[in-house]
Amino acid sequence: MSETTAPASLPILTVDGPRATIRLNRPKHLNRLQQSDLDHLLVLFDQIEADPAIRVMVLTGTGRAFSAGFDLGSIAERSQSEPQQQSAGSSFEIVANRLEDIALPTICRLNGGVYGGSTDLALACDFRIGVDTSEMFMPAARLGLHYYKGGIKRYVTRLGVDNAKRLFLTAQKLDASEMLRIGYLTTSVPAEALDEEVDKLATILAGNAPRAMAGMKRAINEFARGELDEAAADQRARDSMRGDEIKEGIAAFGEKRAPSF
């Protein structure tokens, strides 16, 4: 196991075999995110995606919450001091969009509450496994904030129009059972079972064919956004029929063993 060193409080990357874990690291402030955290996350995403040995990524938080979202004080300061510069919303959108488009499968390990912009970070992951004491809260309407379009699109495409309106327009808090019911959570488990559930899913994903998964993930995301590159998807499907992955997959199936991709 290896851990990437970084300045105190920035997200921490740990690599253990085929699994990379990014842990948000401001527990005293419920992992509230600063601009430096967003910048560092982009660096870590690039680092993970560039390593072919990494097959699955887990995003989680330190302490009792996943994340309290972007620091509201920073939003106010930047709006006054940098009115023509990139906004906090656009910074967050860049990170969430990049996370959604990472080629390898991603799991959000929701160790507690998820609030504000961090609800979109979790939603940008392919799977969300949360403790049964989790809660979520999107306060944009109470703050007078029009949320960035990429996040709204993700809410609509992943949760549906009615749930997106409920979460954005009412700014009501949802508990874990309701998060599971509307599809925000993939699975909800007691705290003592969280690591086991995440490990189980991560092991499954790490054992599947990486190129096939990356291509299908891309197609699914493009379908959801109404942006499917049909020619590229067709080409990936044709290429897969002649690739090394399908040869190994068929051989393993015939030999009644786990494939080695």
Q: What is the mean pLDDT of each run of 10 residues along the chain (261 residues)?
A: 75 97 96 95 97 97 95 60 57 95 98 96 98 96 93 96 97 97 98 98 97 97 95 96 94 93 94
Please check whether residue 3 is in contact with residue 38, taking contact to mean a CB–CB distance below 8 angstroms.
Answer: no
- Domain boundaries defined on the chain: 2-206, 210-254
- Burial of 177-193, coded b for 16+ CB within 10 Å and e otherwise, reads ebbbebebbbbbbeeee
- DSSP assignment of the chain equals -EEE--STTS-EEEEETTEEEEEE--GGGTTPBPHHHHHHHHHHHHHHHT-TT--EEEEEESTTEEE--B-HHHHHHHHHH-TTS--HHHHHHHHHHHHHH-SS-EEEEE-SEEETTHHHHHHHSSEEEEETT-EEE--HHHHT----HHHHHHHHHHH-HHHHHHHHHH---EEHHHHHHTTS-SEEE-GGGHHHHHHHHHHHHHTS-HHHHHHHHHHHHHHHHT---HHHHHHHHHHHTTSHHHHHHHHHHHTTS----
pLDDT at position 253 is: 94
- Angle of helix 210-225 versus helix 244-254 axis, rounded to 10: 110
The CATH number of domain 2-206, selected from 4.10.95.10, 3.90.226.10, 3.40.50.720, 2.60.40.1930? 3.90.226.10
Q: Are 63 and 31 in contact (CB under 8 A)?
A: yes
Residue 88: what pLDDT?
57
How far apart CA 183 and CA 160 sit, in angstroms, is 9
Q: What is the CA radius of gyration of the chain?
A: 19
Considering only CA atoms, which of 123, 139, 131 is closest in space to residue 176?
A: 131
Q: CA–CA distance from 112 to each of 219, 231, 258 (Å)?
A: 31, 41, 34
Give me the pLDDT at residue 71, please.
80
Is the CB of residue 49 less than 8 Å from the CB of residue 20?
no
Distance CA 156, CA 160 (A): 5
Whole-structure pTM value: 0.92
